[in-house]
Amino acid sequence: MSRVAIVTGGASGIGRALGTALVRRGDRVVLADVDGAAAEEAAERLRATGPGTATAAVVDVREADAVASLVTSTAERHGRLDLLFNNAGIGIGGPVEELSPAHWDRAVDVNLRGVVHGVQAAYPLMLRQGHGHIVNTASLAGLLPGPGMAPYATTKWAVVGLSLSLRGEAARRGVRVSVVCPGGVDTPILDKGMPADLPRVPTAELTDARAAITRVSGGRLYGADALAADVLRGVDRNRAVIVAPRHARVMWRLMRLSPGLVLRLQTTIATRGREPAGARPTAPVAAEVSRR
Ligand SMILES: NC(=O)c1ccc[n+]([C@@H]2O[C@H](COP(=O)([O-])OP(=O)(O)OC[C@H]3O[C@@H](n4cnc5c(N)ncnc54)[C@H](O)[C@@H]3O)[C@@H](O)[C@H]2O)c1
């Protein structure tokens, strides 16, 4: 049966791959993105391939009213909303002492409030329908500590908490909620850097984010199309937490077995290659990190 889906951040990377996989399955998809031209281009390509349909919408997920009207207009047009992928997100990181409140605000506004806005708009509608599935994109950084990317990790842990809490509330009322926690995926986010209108973060400017994420991902990035297939499989099976690829699942398991060990590992990997040799944490310092 053809389903009706909204994918935020649908113009690029994981969102675009999700849109492609949904259209390939025959679904009717709205690619919603702050980059309207890129969303339109992506939708046009998908319309040409089918068998499902795709339309584009310009939406900034930071704006609650805009997200609400996206949800309402989609449901009115198609008669219902089956799937909402709250996927739009940005990377905000750097050493905490170099960050300003503006960095934290931006991370929270897009990565957390953006998801909250989607939930607040779609959940009551799905309750009225008696069905629906909300799929929030967090990150493996929402399950593990993220030294060097505290704002990003903070928002992603919050998205995991929001998703699992809502899942508990929604389960008996016919609405499903899943959270997606990918490891490093090869998408444009890795090359975008910080939003240009925020104060400069010198260390972040010197850091090759793609190389750093590849390092914490076991030396290899995952493909967006492969991840989208994993996500749709997880959604079909109503998984609470969808973690991919395998390396990410191993790290998540390790985190549950030994959080101290994972914190030490993440700290060592995150600082490697960023600080001058003399400033690298010594083994006793790294051990101290995990003891606290
Ligand atoms: N790529 C990775 O390694 C990785 C890993 C884990 C989680 N994620 C998460 O996956 C999601 C998608 O990221 P991606 O890797 O595909 O990045 P991407 O940059 O390729 O795509 C993100 C999309 O979100 C859109 N967007 C950004 N701010 C927006 C806003 N305020 N309103 C609406 N749209 C907005 C962008 O225009 C872009 O099209 C994000 O939530 C990201 O945090 C990515």
pLDDT score of 221 more than 50 = yes
- Indicate the pLDDT class of residue 271, thresholds 50, 70 and 90: confident
Domain 4-272 CATH (choose: 3.40.50.720, 3.10.450.750, 3.30.70.260, 3.40.190.10)? 3.40.50.720
Mean pLDDT (whole number) for 200-223: 93
> 187 pLDDT band (50/70/90 cuts)?
very high
259 pLDDT above the threshold of 60:
yes
What is the rounded radius of gyration, in angstroms, for the C-alpha atoms of the chain?
19
What pLDDT does residue 234 have?
98
Tokens 């929402």 belong to residue: 142
CA of 61, closest atom in ligand 1:
32
Nearest to 16 by CA among 265, 223, 263: 223
Q: Which of 21-30, 127-136, 159-168, 205-214 has the lowest mean pLDDT?
A: 205-214
65 CB contacts (<8 Å, ≥6 apart)? none
Per-residue confidence at 236, pLDDT binned at 50, 70, 90? very high
* Catalytic-labelled residue, pool 152, 157, 222, 252: 152
pLDDT band at 291, cuts 50/70/90? low
- Mean pLDDT, residues 99-123 taken together: 98
pLDDT at 280: 42
Tell me, what's the pLDDT at 245? 98
Please state, rounded to an integer, the average pLDDT across all residues of the chain. 93
Q: Residue 289 in contact with residue 281, Cβ under 8 Å?
A: yes
Cα(180)–Cα(107) distance, integer angstroms: 18
Residue 152 appears among annotated catalytic residues = yes
Q: What is the pLDDT of residue 198?
A: 97
Beta strands 175-182; 53-58: pairing state: unpaired
For residue 280, the 8-state DSSP code is S
Give residue ranges with CB within 6 A of ligand 1: 8-9, 11-15, 33-35, 59-62, 87-90, 110, 114, 137, 139, 182, 184-185, 187-189, 192, 213
pLDDT at 276 (0 to 100): 44
> What is the predicted pLDDT for the residue at 289?
52
Structural domain boundaries in the chain = 4-272
- Please report the pLDDT score of residue 285 as a whole number: 42
Residue 290 has pLDDT above 80, yes or no: no
Confidence check: pLDDT of 270 > 90: no
Residue 68 in tokens: 């609400």
